[in-house]
């Protein structure tokens, strides 16, 4: 490698021009301005749904782990994205990554299809576009592959079962989601609705509301407060979003409704530990967000070394996690099923993510 360029601080780019960024992000500006692009540096961009969500910071930490194992001098890693998660809010960030000569863009898209043209432009410019944290159902032809946290077909049923167990398979419940366009949320919610309609075990449960907190803590809390006010007999809430579940727990706790209104969903153990210990949340699920970034960095490294291209059946080695294979649908599954957390294991995971 001719040149050493390390980008390993937690960089939150707040300007599309890449001019304003924190800490060692300044190194990136110097390199861009000096025009000393180095083709041997593997340049990875990760664009989350929005900044300020600890879930995506956890995912991002996996990129750092892999990069430090593989040799920081070989990589430039940029974590950049919009402040809010509207459907098209990421397009300018994708374009900026292409401008900056990214080798690979990992993106947790805010829409199933709003970015298709931008992805096509990026790929036409020779940049790999990888979905991460989720796929873009119906638009798979516009990305190269997708790193999935788990097999998404398992999530809706697992979440509904968890809710059912907590409310004894009976009563009214609601779903508190993220944004209305979120591909991952909508996929899981559709599975929950199908399961609810078709599985007789849930015949005595009624889904009374589906509300959106936009993955913003305040809006999520306001939606949760409205649910409590509107449905005094509400037995539970599924919030399949880490921001949503924590906000819902906080509201239920301050309303003195812990135990009466069960909260479950997908949460970060580090944020949920206090609520599990206070009895506000019995159990919830997630997976291992850092693994996704870790696998992503190894995948790009394998391609840079000429031993991988993202085609169905292709395999690559992801360090301590072993070998992964691209499935026929272009997905790579980090794990098969969600993991479950409760008082018995929360401390162990809370220190990790």
Question: Contact positions toward ligand RAM, by CB under 6 A?
Answer: 49, 53, 55, 108, 133, 178, 184, 215, 241-243, 266
Closest contact distance (angstroms) between CB of 314 and ligand RAM is 25
Segment (H or E) for 296: helix 289-304
**Residue 178 vs 189, nearer CB to ligand RAM:** 178
Closest contact distance (angstroms) between CB of 162 and ligand RAM is 14
Closest contact distance (angstroms) between CB of 134 and ligand RAM is 6
**Residue 78 vs 243, nearer CB to ligand RAM:** 243
DSSP category for residue 271: H
Strands 104-107 and 145-148: unpaired
**Residue 50 vs 166, nearer CB to ligand RAM:** 50
Closest contact distance (angstroms) between CB of 13 and ligand RAM is 19
**Residue 53 vs 60, nearer CB to ligand RAM:** 53
Q: Do 106 and 81 meet the contact criterion of CB atoms below 8 Å apart? A: no
Closest contact distance (angstroms) between CB of 265 and ligand RAM is 8
**Residue 75 vs 212, nearer CB to ligand RAM:** 212
**Residue 110 vs 166, nearer CB to ligand RAM:** 110
**Residue 42 vs 139, nearer CB to ligand RAM:** 139
> Which residues 6+ apart lie within 8 Å of 237 measured at CB?
173, 174, 175, 176, 224, 227, 248, 252, 261, 262, 263, 264, 265
> Which residues 6+ apart lie within 8 Å of 39 measured at CB?
none
HSE (side-chain half, CA atoms, 13 Å) at 139:
21
Closest contact distance (angstroms) between CB of 232 and ligand RAM is 28
245: left (phi over 0), alpha (psi -120 to 50) or beta: alpha
SS percent in the chain: helix, strand, coil, step 5: 40, 20, 40
Rounded Cα gap, residues 151 and 122, in angstroms = 27
Rounded Cα gap, residues 239 and 159, in angstroms = 9
**Residue 188 vs 324, nearer CB to ligand RAM:** 188
Q: Which two tokens stand for residue 295?
A: 């696998």
Closest contact distance (angstroms) between CB of 273 and ligand RAM is 16
Rounded Cα gap, residues 73 and 281, in angstroms = 44
Rounded Cα gap, residues 176 and 25, in angstroms = 36
CA 227 to chain centroid: 25
Closest contact distance (angstroms) between CB of 240 and ligand RAM is 6
């Amino acid at each position: 490698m001719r040149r050493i360029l390390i980008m390993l601080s937690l960089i939150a780019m707040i300007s599309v021009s890449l001019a304003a960024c924190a800490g060692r992000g300044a190194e990136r500006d110097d390199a861009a301005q000096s025009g000393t692009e180095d083709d041997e540096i593997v340049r990875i961009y990760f664009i989350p749904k929005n900044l300020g969500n600890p879930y995506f910071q956890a995912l991002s930490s996996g990129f750092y782990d892999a990069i430090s194992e593989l040799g920081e001098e070989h990589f430039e890693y940029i974590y950049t994205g919009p402040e809010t998660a509207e459907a098209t809010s990421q397009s300018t960030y994708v374009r900026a990554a292409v401008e900056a000569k990214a080798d690979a863009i990992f993106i947790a898209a805010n829409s199933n299809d709003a970015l298709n043209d931008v992805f096509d432009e990026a790929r036409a410019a020779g940049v790999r576009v990888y979905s991460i944290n989720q796929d873009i159902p119906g638009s798979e032809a516009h990305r190269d592959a997708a790193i999935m946290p788990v097999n998404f077909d398992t999530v809706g049923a697992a979440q509904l079962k968890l809710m059912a167990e907590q409310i004894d398979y009976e009563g009214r419940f609601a779903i508190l989601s993220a944004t209305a366009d979120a591909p991952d949320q909508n996929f899981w919610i559709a599975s929950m609705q199908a399961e609810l309609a078709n599985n007789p075990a849930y015949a005595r449960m009624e889904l009374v509301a589906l509300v959106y907190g936009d993955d913003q803590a305040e809006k999520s809390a306001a939606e949760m407060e409205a649910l409590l006010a509107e449905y005094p007999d509400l037995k539970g809430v599924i919030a399949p979003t880490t921001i949503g579940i924590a906000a819902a727990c906080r509201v239920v706790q301050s309303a003195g409704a812990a135990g009466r209104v069960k909260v479950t969903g997908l949460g970060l153990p580090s944020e949920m530990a206090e609520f599990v210990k206070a009895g506000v949340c019995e159990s919830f699920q997630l997976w291992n967000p850092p693994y996704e970034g870790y696998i992503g960095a190894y995948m790009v490294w394998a391609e840079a070394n000429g031993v991988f291209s993202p085609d169905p059946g292709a395999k690559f080695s992801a360090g301590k996690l072993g070998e992964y294979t691209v499935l026929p649908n272009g997905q790579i599954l980090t794990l098969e099923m969600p993991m479950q957390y409760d008082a018995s294991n929360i401390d162990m995971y809370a220190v990790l993510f």
